[in-house]
Amino acid sequence: MTKRAIILISGRGSNLLAIIKAVKEGYLKDLEIIKVISDNPEAPGIEKAKAEGYDATYVSPGAKKARFDEEGLKRYVGIIRESGANYIFLAGFMRILDEKIINSVDAVLNIHPSLLPSFKGLNAQKQAIEYGVKVSGCTVHFVDAGVDTGPIIIQRTVPVYADDTEESLAERILAEEHKAYPYAIKKLIEDKLEIHGRIVKIKE
């Protein structure tokens, strides 16, 4: 059965495009992306989604920097509930979700550019370089009320080289993000994810 998703973005939108590509190529044939919403009016991802034929708009989250204000929250929850979405996928969405948003769908997923629980929050690739880790990667996880704390679905690793910059590491991780996110979404929409506390089992 087709599942309906809203994708939330704040910027470039490359993960969004990877998900769109997976839908169009049939890898995610049972997913309908019903809306793309950005909390940033200048996010390049808005035009990219429109160019792919999707309904993509800026919706104001309110004046707060990292969260939603009351009006903004009402706007988001209203749109999500009205759309009948089953899922929300965060694709570079730079705002902490309120529980009211999380509770308005069956599940919310996020992708983070580090091997959680290391390097939560902003500038994860810079944190990894500065810490001196030799391996990093990306994590797709369920979103709970915390920041980058929900149960982990999949992680993909990359080496960190001595001469890496934040940019070169980010690029290497991004290539893995574009594989990890469609895979995690596929398992979710096929009902193949079983959550036991923090542990997510993937039924093959």
Chain residues binding ligand GRF by CB under 6 A are 9, 11-16, 45, 91-92, 111-113, 174, 177
User: Could you tell me the smallest distance in angstroms from the CB atom of residue 70 to ligand GRF?
Assistant: 25
Tokens describing residue 26: 């049939």
User: Could you tell me the smallest distance in angstroms from the CB atom of residue 22 to ligand GRF?
Assistant: 14
Could you give the CA distance from residue 145 to residue 17 in angstroms, rounded to a whole number?
26
Could you give the CA distance from residue 28 to residue 171 in angstroms, rounded to a whole number?
24
- Which CB sits closer to ligand GRF, 1 or 35? 35
- Which CB sits closer to ligand GRF, 12 or 100? 12
Active site residue 112: yes
Which position among 112, 141, 178, 196 bears the catalytic label?
A: 112
Residues 154 and 184 sit within 8 Å (Cβ to Cβ): yes
**What is residue 186's three-state secondary structure?**
helix
User: Could you tell me the smallest distance in angstroms from the CB atom of residue 177 to ligand GRF?
Assistant: 5
Q: Which residues pair with 33 in a beta bridge?
A: 5
- Which CB sits closer to ligand GRF, 50 or 201? 50
Closest residue to ligand GRF, judged by C-beta, is 92
**What is residue 149's three-state secondary structure?**
coil
User: Could you tell me the smallest distance in angstroms from the CB atom of residue 91 to ligand GRF?
Assistant: 5
- Which CB sits closer to ligand GRF, 12 or 203? 12
Could you give the CA distance from residue 43 to residue 62 in angstroms, rounded to a whole number?
16
Residues 142 and 109 sit within 8 Å (Cβ to Cβ): yes
**What is residue 131's three-state secondary structure?**
helix
Residues annotated as part of the active site: 112
